Structure 1
């Protein structure tokens, strides 16, 4: 099994969720993107929409995020949104 992703979803003023995951799916201004372990480094602008995080155990955490960016580097995914909350 590949190493899990380290994921943080944060809003401008608070952390929404963080933990380990096997996959992250988010909507960018260029379309939907899926991130798995080993993904190339990436910096993308988020569009308003859902960020779905599949945790190591298989359960899914979903957050509604409004604008921001998504960064991927060394199996670490950081989602920073103007506003975000779990749904």
Structure 2
């Protein structure tokens, strides 16, 4: 039986629509105190999000980038929620690097 990779459930929502949901290996967010990386099993956190880019590395290693504005990030029990006022459609993998 192969060992499972450690992942977390991620949900990104904008005020007008759901944006992305799935399992992720890591997420970086433009927190008010500066860029912040979140990995599975991170301690619980609630932070304000500034304008910038959220980058999700999914369970398969693919990167997904989203330009966001004004919101918050909450993480607890291996579930990450990114709730923002505005979010662009997914940007290309090159821009998410």
Q: Give me the TM-score of the superposition, normalised by structure 1.
A: 0.95
Give the 4+ runs in structure 1 shifted more than 2 A: none
My pick for the range that moved more, 2-11 or 28-37, is 2-11
Matches within 5 A, 1:29-48: 29-48=32-51
* Aligned equivalents of 2:78, 2:55: Cα separation in 1: 16
1:72 aligns with 2:79: no
Q: How many aligned residue pairs are there? A: 87
Residue 62 of structure 1: SS of its match in structure 2?
Answer: strand
CA contact (8 A) 2:44 2:77 kept: yes
Q: Where is the strand percentage greater, Structure 1 or Structure 2? A: 1
**RMSD value over aligned CA atoms?**
0.9
User: Bigger radius of gyration, 1 or 2?
Assistant: 2
Cα distance in 1 between the residues matched to 2:6 and 2:63: 18
CA positional deviation for 1:4:
1.0
Structure 1: stretches of 5+ with no match in the other structure: none
